Structure formats: C-alpha cells, structure tokens
Amino acid sequence: MRTEALQKWAALPPRERLGLTLAGVAVAIALVWMVGVNPALRTLREAPAQIDALDVQLQAMQRMATEARELRGTAPVPATAAAQALKSATERLGEKGRLTVMGDRATLTLTGVNGEVLRAWLTEARSGARARPIEAQLTRGPQGYTGTLVVSLGGAS
C-alpha cells in the first residue's frame, strides 16, 4: 500500500506535488495551532481574571476562618443570655419578625424582610447568641424574604 502511494506520488507532475506538499504543510500548521498554541494563548488571556476571582474567594474564606477561630475562642453563652440576644435582635425587625424559643432551638418567622436586614440579624444571632442556622424555609418576594428560620442556640450541637 505504501509502495503504491509512493508510485502515485512519483507519477504526479512536480507542480501537483508542490501543491499537495503545501496543502499538507498548511494542514499540519493548522493542527499545531489548534491543538498546541491556541489553548495556551487562551489560558494566558483568561488566567489573570481567574486569579483575581480566586484571590477574592481566598480572602472571603480567610475572613470566615478568622471569624470561626474568634467564635471558637469565645466563652459559650448561657441559654438565657442567648435567648435574650436573639429577642433583642428580633425586636429590631419590628412587625416583620417573630421569635419563638423552645429548648436549644429558636424559630424566627419573617414577613417581608429585606436581605440586608436578614443578614444583620444572622450576624447578630451568630456573634451575640452563638446561634447557627440549621433550617431555613424562605421565599423571596417583592417586599423581601418571608418564611421561617430555625437556629440552634449557644453551645448546643
């Protein structure tokens, strides 16, 4: 089969051989470009943006790790103090929030609370009462979030 191909190649006029050689070289260059060079150039173009995004993620994770270390290092909050801290945070929600404390859990019922206010409540609950969310059933509407949020109090696991 190879000898047949070589015979056909030798039988071609020099002009056709040159044309086929140039076409083969062009195909080889295109393949090298598509497989080797273009992906590397794409990586070089996209790498700075990806590095910046990863740096932002790393900084956020480092802040959370620092916060976790600080929370671990603080003394546990007694259940009554935790409940009082949650009630105090809930009072700032006004009519939009209602708190029910049962044992080591507290349930916050929300009606139309915006995201920033909810975030502030969660931050205060976490730092002041050492409460952590364990269940959330929230829906987002035009007036804000509505639903329930269950948190575990203080030293409860």
Instruction: List the domain boundaries for the chain.
Output: 2-73, 79-152
Question: Quick check: 155 pLDDT over 60?
Answer: no
Q: Does domain 79-152 have CATH number 3.30.1360.100?
A: yes
Question: pTM (2 decimals)?
Answer: 0.56
Q: How many Cα neighbours within 13 Å face the side chain of 76?
A: 8
Helix 115-128 vs helix 79-91: crossing angle, to nearest 10: 160
pLDDT for 78 equals: 85
40: alpha, beta or left? (left if phi > 0; alpha if psi -120 to 50): alpha
Question: Quick check: 31 pLDDT over 70?
Answer: yes
Q: Which residues contact 90 (CB under 8 A, 6 or more apart)?
A: 97, 98, 99, 108, 121
Residue, of 75 and 20, whose pLDDT is higher: 20
Confidence of residue 129 (pLDDT cuts 50, 70, 90): confident
Q: Which residues contact 109 (CB under 8 A, 6 or more apart)?
A: 97, 98, 99, 100, 147, 148
- Average pLDDT of every residue of the chain: 90
Residue, of 156 and 2, whose pLDDT is higher: 2
